[in-house]
């Protein structure tokens, strides 16, 4: 277990020979087939084949430690994420030499597991040969354990509590956004919109509601510059996707870049002609690349980036436009038309009515129950169905359009809503907040999530906490403290065996709050408090991987700071 006082790691003497030739001789000594790639600075990567397994070895010039990776040795559906996590915790506890990391395949959505082991590249050739052989063998054993334990867990997954945990998609989506520092990357998810125009793009991505003019300067298609004069005066309603995929789904080219100048009617500026004439347009680049095609849609990875403004004499330095920004996501051109979408909704609604009429209400899906229970007009049901479907597919920009339409319709008659309809209103507000949070528009997300407070729903409240923590809001610390005090009070009241399920949910919520607080403490550079909390989380099997990753990240940051201080 980790102590509160950080212990100094004994320094290993530098090897007499560089690590690279040592690694080459070790691989040859165990009979491995090796293909070395072009060096990336001090890093050397090799594809290693040994005993029918494909490995990756990473060696650094100035470090005696090498990293052995057994990539994609096991995969499972994202729907079984809870089972995968349980199996990973069990295998990690049983293994001494290896650790397991996971990634999500962008195309299939499967969870992939990768086994990693550290090896010391010193001059003890015979000892290191044994260590390398043991590490390679351990990777095979871990793969076997993953397959065995997952199969066993899958066979026993008919337990109602396990089924409920596996199907709790809303909870998974929230926990997925509880970032940790160790795995920093932009997660790209399939996302589509009805019409992703320039106007909607700037509104949803950068929250620009006051765009006055857009001029597309260049369109670069497969490295060939092209400027469409017909776009003049129509660029706000221009759909960037049209430059790479036709409305019928034909791929026009593999990659496109749009360079545009955006002028805003900024209310922060003094509304005088002399000041407006001094404004410089904001430079925005839209880079698109086709990533996947199938019979249902064409998926395009999009990066929207804006440069910092140069209007220092007009805008203060703290103005948001004085900072650059970039957002990466994926949009898709659906090949189904609006009639097909309407027909799909009507089929689902009629199926729900038939099940209710024939006494099969237990077969209704959650969305079908909501469609029947809230006495909605047909158009409102259509927006609810597609909004919920797109959230589960993580297509947040399109889901937002549906939820906002529903929200405005319900808000306008809120005082006349029945208690059941008000519950539905809070659920729609949560949908708006969830989508805005995934698009990193946290101020707007807070507005809608705060509107759900009266519902006293733990899922809504957890998403509100994610919104505050991920955005670095000054209210996050106080909200976390109040939430933890409330959960602890509830835990003290539910010690009886009859409340076992409620107690488990409260424990899970407490774990979530502690992980969020640890993340926040590290962001605030409160190292000692963070280390103390992470040591406590190490005792919880479900939080152990998170705690280990955060401790490693914190140690890396502190070491970097120490080196920088020594240079000074």
What pLDDT score was predicted for residue 377?
A: 64
Contact indicator for 311, 276 with CB cutoff of 8 Å: no
How many other CB atoms are there within 10 angstroms of residue 7's CB atom?
7
For residue 565, is it left (φ>0), alpha (ψ between -120 and 50) or beta? alpha
| More confident call, 284 vs 499 | 284
Spatial separation of the C-alpha atoms in residues 308 and 285, rounded to whole Å: 12
Mean pLDDT to the nearest integer, 139-162: 72
Is the per-residue pLDDT at 230 higher than 70? no
- Tokens at residue 237, please? 């309603």
DSSP secondary structure letter of residue 69: E
pLDDT, position 429: 93
Burial 437-463 (b: 16+ CB within 10 A, else e): bbbebbebbbebbebbeebeebbbbbb
What percent of the chain stands above pLDDT 70?
76
What are the DSSP calls for 88-156, one per residue? HHHHHHH-SSEEEEEEE-TTT--EEEEEEEEEE--S-HHHHHHHHHHHHHHHHHHHHHHHHHHHHHHHT
Res 114: pLDDT: 86
> What does the pLDDT average to over 517-544?
88
CA distance 331 to 345: 22
DSSP state at residue 251? B
Q: How many Cα atoms within 13 Å fall on the side-chain side of residue 238? A: 21
Question: For residue 282, what pLDDT is reported?
Answer: 80
State how far the Cα of 487 lies from the Cα of 327, in Å rounded to an integer.
35
Distance CA 230, CA 189 (A): 33
Asked if residues 98 and 116 have their Cβ atoms less than 8 Å apart, the reply is yes
pLDDT value for 334: 77
- List residues bridging with 260 in a β-sheet: 216, 284
Q: Is residue 271 predicted with pLDDT exceeding 80?
A: no
C-beta of residue 65 within 8 angstroms of C-beta of residue 120: yes
For residues 115-124, average pLDDT: 73
**Token pair in block for residue 363:** 């077969």
- pLDDT per position as a tens digit, 473-527: 888 889 898 888 888 888 777 665 556 667 778 888 888 899 999 999 988 888 8
Q: For residue 467, is pLDDT > 70?
A: yes
Range from 152-161, 201-210, 302-311, 362-371 that averages highest in pLDDT: 362-371
Of the pLDDT bands very low, low, confident and very high (cuts 50, 70, 90), residue 170 is: very low
pLDDT, greater one: 368 or 222: 368
Residue 343 CA, chain-centre distance (Å), reads 32
110: left (phi over 0), alpha (psi -120 to 50) or beta: beta
pLDDT tens-digit readout, 409-454: 888 888 888 888 888 899 999 999 998 888 788 888 999 999 887 8
**Burial category of 502 from C-beta neighbours within 10 Å (exposed 0-12, middle 13-18, buried 19 and up):** middle
Evaluate whether 214 touches 200 at the Cβ level (below 8 Å).
no
Q: What is the mean pLDDT of residues 260-271?
A: 62
What would the mean pLDDT of 91-113 be, rounded to a whole number?
75
Residues in the chain, total: 568
What are 74-87's pLDDT values in tens digits? 888 777 777 787 78
Q: Is the pLDDT assigned to residue 53 strictly greater than 50?
A: yes
> Phi, psi at residue 143, to the nearest 5°?
-60, -45
CA 305 – CA 303 distance, rounded (Å): 6
pLDDT exceeds cutoff 80 at 362? yes
Alpha carbon distance 467, 484 (integer Å): 17
The pLDDT of 450-468, averaged and rounded, is 86
Q: What is the CA radius of gyration of the chain?
A: 27
């Amino acid at each position: 277990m980790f102590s509160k006082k950080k212990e100094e790691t004994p320094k290993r003497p530098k090897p007499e020979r560089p690590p690279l030739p040592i690694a080459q001789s070790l691989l040859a000594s165990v009979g491995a087939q090796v293909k070395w790639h072009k060096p990336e600075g001090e890093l050397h990567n090799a594809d290693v084949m040994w005993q029918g397994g494909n490995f990756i070895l990473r060696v650094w010039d100035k470090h005696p430690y090498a990293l052995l990776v057994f990539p994609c040795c096991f995969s499972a559906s994202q729907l079984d994420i809870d089972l995968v996590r349980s199996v990973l915790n069990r295998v990690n506890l049983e293994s001494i030499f290896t650790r397991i990391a996971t990634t999500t395949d962008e195309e299939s959505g499967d969870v992939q597991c990768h086994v990693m082991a550290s090896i010391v590249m010193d001059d003890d050739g015979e000892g290191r040969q044994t260590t390398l052989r043991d590490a390679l063998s351990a990777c095979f054993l871990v793969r076997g354990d993953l397959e065995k334990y997952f199969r066993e867990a899958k066979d026993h997954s008919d337990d109602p509590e396990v089924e409920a945990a596996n199907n709790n998609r809303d909870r998974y989506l929230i926990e997925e956004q509880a970032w940790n520092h160790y795995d920093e990357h932009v997660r790209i998810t399939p996302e589509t919109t009805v019409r992703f125009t320039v106007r909607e793009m700037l509104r949803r991505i950068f929250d620009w509601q006051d765009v006055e003019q857009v001029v597309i300067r260049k369109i670069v298609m497969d490295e060939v510059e092209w400027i469409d004069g017909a776009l003049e005066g129509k660029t706000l309603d221009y759909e960037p996707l049209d430059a790479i995929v036709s409305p019928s789904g034909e791929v026009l080219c593999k990659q496109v870049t749009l360079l545009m100048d955006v002028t805003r009617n900024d209310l922060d500026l003094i509304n005088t002609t002399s000041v407006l004439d001094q404004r410089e347009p904001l430079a925005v680049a839209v880079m698109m690349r086709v990533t996947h095609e199938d019979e249902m849609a064409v998926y395009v990875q999009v990066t929207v980036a804006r440069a910092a403004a140069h209007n220092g004499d007009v805008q203060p330095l703290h103005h948001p436009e004085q900072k650059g920004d970039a957002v990466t996501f994926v949009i898709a051109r659906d090949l189904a038309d609006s009639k097909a979408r309407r027909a799909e909704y009507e089929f689902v609604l009629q199926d729900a009515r038939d099940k209710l009429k024939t006494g099969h209400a237990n077969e209704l899906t959650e969305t079908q129950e909501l469609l029947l229970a809230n006495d909605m007009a047909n158009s409102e049901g259509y927006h609810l169905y597609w909004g919920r479907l797109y959230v589960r597919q993580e297509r947040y920009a399109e889901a937002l359009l549906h939820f906002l339409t529903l929200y405005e319709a319900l808000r306008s008659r809120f005082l006349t809503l029945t208690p059941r309809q008000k519950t539905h209103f809070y659920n729609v507000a949560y949908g708006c907040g969830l989508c805005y949070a995934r698009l990193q528009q946290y101020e707007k997300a807070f507005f809608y999530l705060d509107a759900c407070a009266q519902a006293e729903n733990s899922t809504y409240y957890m998403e509100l906490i994610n919104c505050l923590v991920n955005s670095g809001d000054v209210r996050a610390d106080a909200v976390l403290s109040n939430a933890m005090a409330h959960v602890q009070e509830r835990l003290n009241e539910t010690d009886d065996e009859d409340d076992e399920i409620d107690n488990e949910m409260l424990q899970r919520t407490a774990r979530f709050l502690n992980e969020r607080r640890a993340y926040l403490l590290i962001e605030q550079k409160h190292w000692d408090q963070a280390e103390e909390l992470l040591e406590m989380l190490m005792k919880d099997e479900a939080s152990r991987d998170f705690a280990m990753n955060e401790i490693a990240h914190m140690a890396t940051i502190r070491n970097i700071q120490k080196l920088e201080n020594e240079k000074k």
